[in-house]
Amino acid sequence: MKIDFDWTYYLLIALAIIFNFAKPEDVDPIHSFFLGFGALLTAATIFLSRWARNPIGIKQVNIPAFLMQTSLSSVVLGLPVFIHRPAAVITTQTLVVAIVAEESYRIAASKLSYIAFTSPTFSILVSGVVFAAMHMYWYPAEWLFAIVGGMLFSATLIYFASETACIASHYLYDALVFGFIPVAFFFILTIGMGVVGYGTRGLQPIEH
């Protein structure tokens, strides 16, 4: 398997680290830890992939695949919002940094598990467990939903191959549940993204 990352994914991690150092008071210590650890795990993923002689590189964002991956993950995760919607207690900038921190850690853990065991199914399971473990600090009662969410993010990542879409769909979901965007707008936007992406390329998986 080729281990590569979107160039925009590297950029988002770098910007999140800069923001974390520039305004540490706006990022909680747990997310600061996950951001640093996620960046280190990403570097470890690259190093171990090279050591194992797997192809590795930086890829361009495939826009249709990005749209469909973001749409699918967002819509599936967004459906339970009709049952539970917590109040917003976080700024948009802080939310973005927190999401980059969580996703960098989860994605790296998933890819490292694939390098070690060469099993997509196992890497998806690892993603769910890691995602749930992170959220035990904030929402311990929602561990099962977090497992499903983490597994969904990795399953769509394996199929559509956009790390940036993981961050985008995670952000859209959190923006929905924290009340940053209206429910109707969320579903119109995310379903529309899927329609545009599907109309452009269909549902063919991205070649690795």
Q: Is the pLDDT of residue 160 over 90?
A: yes
Mean pLDDT computed over 191-199: 93
pLDDT at 156: 95
CA neighbours within 13 Å on the CB side: how many for 192?
A: 6
Q: How many helices (H) and strands (E) does the chain have?
A: 8, 2
pLDDT at 201: 72
Structure tokens belonging to residue 26: 């706006």
- The mean predicted confidence, pLDDT, of the chain is 88
| DSSP code of residue 79 | G
52-61, 122-131, 184-193: segment of lowest average pLDDT = 52-61
User: How far apart are alpha carbons 110 and 199 in whole angstroms?
Assistant: 30
In Å, what is the CA distance from 61 to each residue of 5, 91, 194, 203?
A: 9, 27, 16, 16
Q: Provide the residue ranges of all domains of the chain, joining segments of one domain with +.
A: 3-201
The residue-averaged pLDDT of 107-121 equals 91
In this prediction, residues 43-50 reach a mean pLDDT of: 86
Q: DSSP letter string over 21-69?
A: HH-GGGS-HHHHHHHHHHHHHHHHHHHHHHHTT--EEEE---HHHHHHH
Answer with the residue of higher pLDDT: 163 or 180.
163
Tens of pLDDT, residues 59-79: 899 999 999 999 999 999 998
Residue 104 has pLDDT above 80, yes or no: yes
Q: Decide if pLDDT at 1 tops 60.
A: no
